[in-house]
Structure 1
Amino acid sequence: MSDTMNRHADSAAVVTGGAQGLGLAIATQLVDEGCRRVVLADLNAEKVEASAAELRARGITVKAVALDLTDVASCLGLINTAIRELGTVNVLVNAAALGARDTLVDGTLDQFDRMFATNVRAPYFLMQGFVRHRLAEGGGGAILNIVSNCAHCGQSYLASYSASKGALATLTKNVANAYKFDRIRCNAILPGWMDTPGEDITQRKFHGATDGWLERAEAGQPMKQLAKPYQLACLASFMLAPSAGVMTGALVDYDQQIPGSYPE
């Protein structure tokens, strides 16, 4: 049986959305479980460097990269940078995403294109670079895509977001199937409502939330909380570890609301 706290000793990880929230929580969990080589990528250069510095203080190799997910060359370049900095890459976490609002009738072409460029095209080419590298290395490795429970449907004001996450869910299964004989595993977690810095910004920007919104929202949830990044990170770490065995192509719902359920 593997040692849980050392199961990522051989992991060299790239994590997008690594400046804060879920991406940083997953990277931190990997480090807690033995990972000593990490590349954190995020649009916010200042925040991602600060987060990298915190992990670097723990005596590990951490590279911070400012990344615009809408730039395909930058996505492919991130994998090359990681290989150069870490020597190899065998773990990829696509946690970064755009979560803007639009309904079918008020959505614009520009926002639709940005949504798919960020939430689908970027993971596609990040996985392309990763898989090419793993094939050149003889196979093996693990990918985790952070999708969303909205892939099942989503609210009316999440039309293009839900569509993009549905596409990423299908892409996850396609990649898992295509490279299973190369021992490259690809899975996804579909989180529900989460308590993250990005969600606080979203609630205030799009829904007029005021101070105390989180406490009010949590009071109405079945388990009296929103999902926490550090909780989901434990699941993510398992799915990315060799101890996950043959697990691939899995779309794991992570929420207290059950897709397909209805009020009694």
Structure 2
Amino acid sequence: MGRFDNKVAFITGGNSGIGKASALMIAKDGANIMLADLKEDRGVLKELEELGVTASFVKCDVSKPEDVEHAINETIKKFGSLDIALNNAGVGDQGMIHEKSIEQWHKVIEINLSGVFYCMKYEIEHMLKQKDGGKIINISSILGQVGEAGAAAYVAAKHGVVGLTQTAAIEYGAKNIRVNTIGPGYISTPLLKDIDKEKLHEIEERHAMKRLGHSEEVAKAFIWLASDDSSFLTGDYIPVDGGYLAQ
């Protein structure tokens, strides 16, 4: 028996990195999975199904509210409930403020901030209909607490995710819906694939542990927040950052 038997987890950006690691980890504990991403990855679905759970995929661009509404409706249609949501989809950001294009600013804000709002809006609509409510975990960043040169849109979006999380926790705490956010440090995911070795070493040195994090280390925090072990937590920001913010 797993802790999440008969529970349904909806995960955006589920094909790789933190999303994939979280999906696999909660599936090992019994949850059925709806993966939402820009394209289907049969390899990930096969890995999930081999764990003995039901896994499905829905195409979703989180910057489009109609996509998100459709994805949540498909989750309910397929599984009958929505118990746990991990709002994880995101993109990176580059360029100083005066060099950044308006289009780039809007793209990052729409995916990283508005996308989280759209997900919470439609997730909460369904969770309010459920006796057991639900748990929502939003992925912010260490850059949801501090600034970073060359990442204005990303920083602004991730700060916004923390504020959205706190507001949702206040609005729905009495409705048995818990909403928390995780602030990963720099994690070894595809978002870092284009960074050169010298820059990567400099990033590693910013962490007290002198290394990048692993997706599975963030997934463990997700599992805890999704479980009843964290039953008195809502509106909280949990850094998983190898000591980045301690310095």
Query: TM-score normalised to the size of structure 1?
Result: 0.87
Structure 2 counterpart of 1:76 = 69
Moved more, 252-261 or 174-183: 252-261
Moved more, 101-110 or 212-221: 212-221
The answer to whether the Cα contact below 8 Å between 1:14 and 1:38 also exists between their aligned partners in 2 is: yes
In the alignment, structure 1 residue 168 sits paired with structure 2 residue 164: no
1:23 paired residue among 15, 19, 22: 19
Could you say what secondary structure the match of 1:105 adopts?
A: helix
Could you say what secondary structure the match of 1:259 adopts?
A: helix
Could you say what secondary structure the match of 1:249 adopts?
A: coil
Q: What is the CA-CA distance between 1:243 and the residue it aligns to? A: 2.5
Q: Distance in 1 between matches of 2:176 and 2:234?
A: 9
Structure 2 portions without partners, runs of 5+: none
Q: Distance in 2 between matches of 1:146 and 1:92?
A: 11
Task: Report the CA distance shift for 1:200/1:127 in structure 2 as closer, same or farther (over 3 A).
Answer: same
What is the letter of the counterpart of residue 5 of structure 2? A
Q: Distance in 2 between matches of 1:258 and 1:217?
A: 10
1:137 paired residue among 130, 146, 151: 130
Q: Distance in 2 between matches of 1:123 and 1:220?
A: 28
Paired residues for 1:1-264 under 5 Å: 6-35=2-31, 37-43=32-38, 45-47=39-41, 49-201=42-194, 203=195, 209=196, 218=204, 221-259=207-245, 261=247
Q: What is the CA-CA distance between 1:7 and the residue it aligns to? A: 1.5
Q: What is the CA-CA distance between 1:260 and the residue it aligns to? A: 6.3
Q: Deviations over 1:87-130 (max 9, x none)?
A: 11110001110112132111221111111110111111111111
RMSD: 2.0
What is the letter of the counterpart of residue 103 of structure 1? M
Q: Which runs of 4+ in 1 moved over 4 A?
A: 212-221
The answer to whether the Cα contact below 8 Å between 1:38 and 1:86 also exists between their aligned partners in 2 is: no
Task: Report the CA distance shift for 1:237/1:108 in structure 2 as closer, same or farther (over 3 A).
Answer: same
**Matched-pair identity in %:** 27
The answer to whether the Cα contact below 8 Å between 1:102 and 1:160 also exists between their aligned partners in 2 is: no
Could you say what secondary structure the match of 2:95 adopts?
A: coil
Q: How many equivalent pairs are there?
A: 247
Could you say what secondary structure the match of 2:58 adopts?
A: strand
Q: What is the CA-CA distance between 1:219 and the residue it aligns to? A: 7.2
Query: TM-score normalised to the size of structure 2?
Result: 0.92
